[in-house]
Amino acid sequence: MLTYTERAKLCSNPTARRLLNLIDEKKTNLAIAVDVTTSKQLLEIAASLGSKICVLKTHIDIIEDFSPELTQALSELAKKYNFLLFEDRKFADIGNTVKLQYGEGIYRIADWSHIINAHTVPGFSIIEGLRQVGLDKDRGLLLLAEMSTAGNLAQGEYTTQSLELAKKYSDFVIGFITTRKLMDDPAFIYFTPGVNLSQNADSLGQRYVTPQTVIYENESDIIIVGRGIYEAPNPLEKAEEYQQAGWDAYQQRLQKNVSR
Ligand code: S5P
């Protein structure tokens, strides 16, 4: 098995390279999902946990006091603590519409978010639309090949076809939202949400597994943790715990492959 850094050399997309390199540099495969509703909370978490994470995932449209200063401040923190921003917009429309949603409007996502994601329901045109905006800015796209929720429809042929789309646009598609590793090509990066050390589910269909299951057993690359960290009494301590768990599982996986 290759290390994150070794895989970085195989990526054509600059954001993918940067991400894989910084994971090894910072020894963290932890992405935090900060689903809070004020700028203040978001910036406080970004500043206090920035050194522990490789990616900070936002839902910018849930911030009730949004202003462009927020994304400016987030970008500065991302630079200072060396993490990437991932706006979890889950684009799902026709090419022309997603182009506008990505590049225009209040949020100007393409101007600050290194990584975005999209459902593959519309087919190739959604990728082409996003790519027209993001490729020149060195951005990267994740496809939702699977989801974490109970009863979700992203499986079987849908997942298989999503992988085919990724291969076709591998200059812009850097990986997937998924529960597990899906392909042998080491240039694709797997992000897995639905991670929690103390709960199996929430009350709305979310399903949780542990960092060990995600990174070691399912051979994914990055754990996405939300409430497990930001709702804890001491988020910094929790972030360290998840960082360690994710990193230990990765080290074990390297060993597993060596001894095979
Ligand atoms: O299938 C998915 C895809 C995503 S991106 N399931 C998810 O839970 N997510 C996101 O991961 C979701 O939007 C949320 O921001 C985060 C999980 O948060 P948690 O609080 O349940 O850890």
Catalytic residue among 27, 52, 57, 90: 90
Mutational test site, ligand 1, from 32, 35, 162, max ligand atoms within 8 Å of CB: 35
CA separation (Å) from 1 to 18, 137, 184, 217? 19, 31, 10, 14
What are the backbone angles phi and psi of residue 61, rounded to the nearest 5°? Answer: -80, 0
Q: For residue 55, what are the β-bridge partners?
A: 31, 84
Average the pLDDT over 85-100 and give the result.
98
Q: Taking the chain, what is the end-to-end CA distance rounded to the nearest angstrom?
A: 10
pLDDT at residue 82, as a whole number: 98
Question: How many angstroms separate the alpha carbon of residue 108 from the centre of ligand 1?
Answer: 22
pLDDT at residue 52, as a whole number: 98
What are the backbone angles phi and psi of residue 225, rounded to the nearest 5°? Answer: -120, 130
pLDDT at residue 258, as a whole number: 72
- What share of the chain has pLDDT > 90, as a percent? 98
Question: How many angstroms separate the alpha carbon of residue 55 from the centre of ligand 1?
Answer: 14
Token reading at 152: 């979700």
The pLDDT of residue 259 is above 90: no
Atom of ligand 1 nearest to the CA of 225: 22
Own/partner pairs for 70-78, CB < 8 Å, 24+ apart? 70/39, 70/42, 70/43, 71/107, 71/108, 71/111, 71/112, 72/112, 73/39, 73/43, 74/42, 74/43, 74/46, 74/112, 75/112, 77/43, 77/46, 77/47, 77/50, 78/46, 78/50, 78/114
- Distance, in Å, from the CA atom of 56 to the CA atom of 39, rounded to the nearest integer, reads 14
Kindly report the protein residue whose alpha carbon is nearest to atom 6 of ligand 1: 148
Classify burial at 69, counting beta carbons within 10 Å of its beta carbon; exposed 0-12, middle 13-18, buried 19 or more.
Answer: exposed
Name residue, tokens 């639905």.
Answer: 194
The pLDDT of residue 251 is above 80: yes
Q: Which of 141-145, 175-179, 183-187, 252-256 has the lowest mean pLDDT?
A: 252-256
Average the pLDDT over 150-157 and give the result.
98
Question: How many angstroms separate the alpha carbon of residue 251 from the centre of ligand 1?
Answer: 25
Q: Classify the phi-psi angles of 66: left when phi > 0, otherwise alpha if psi is within -120 to 50, otherwise beta.
A: beta
Q: Which of 185, 160, 169 is nearest to 124 (CA)?
A: 169
Average the pLDDT over 40-67 and give the result.
98
State yes or no: is 79 an active-site residue. Answer: no
Q: Categorize the per-residue pLDDT at 152 as very low, low, confident or very high, splitting at 50, 70 and 90.
A: very high
pLDDT per residue as tens digits for the range 206-224 = 999 999 999 999 999 999 9
Average the pLDDT over 241-251 and give the result.
98
Average the pLDDT over 160-174 and give the result.
98
- Distance, in Å, from the CA atom of 33 to the CA atom of 227, rounded to the nearest integer, reads 8
The pLDDT of residue 260 is above 80: no
Question: How many angstroms separate the alpha carbon of residue 194 from the centre of ligand 1?
Answer: 6
CB 40 within 8 A of CB 74: no
- Distance, in Å, from the CA atom of 110 to the CA atom of 93, rounded to the nearest integer, reads 16
Atom of ligand 1 nearest to the CA of 90: 5
- Arithmetic mean of pLDDT over the chain: 97
Q: Which residues contact 152 (CB under 8 A, 6 or more apart)?
A: 146
CB 98 within 8 A of CB 129: yes
- Distance, in Å, from the CA atom of 73 to the CA atom of 80, rounded to the nearest integer, reads 11
Average the pLDDT over 89-111 and give the result.
98
- What share of the chain has pLDDT > 70, as a percent? 99
Model pTM greater than 0.85?
Answer: yes
Longest dimension (CA), the chain: 53
Average the pLDDT over 127-143 and give the result.
98
The pLDDT of residue 173 is above 80: yes
Average the pLDDT over 91-115 and give the result.
98
Q: Is the CB of 211 under 6 A from ligand 1?
A: no
Q: Is the CB of 228 under 6 A from ligand 1?
A: yes
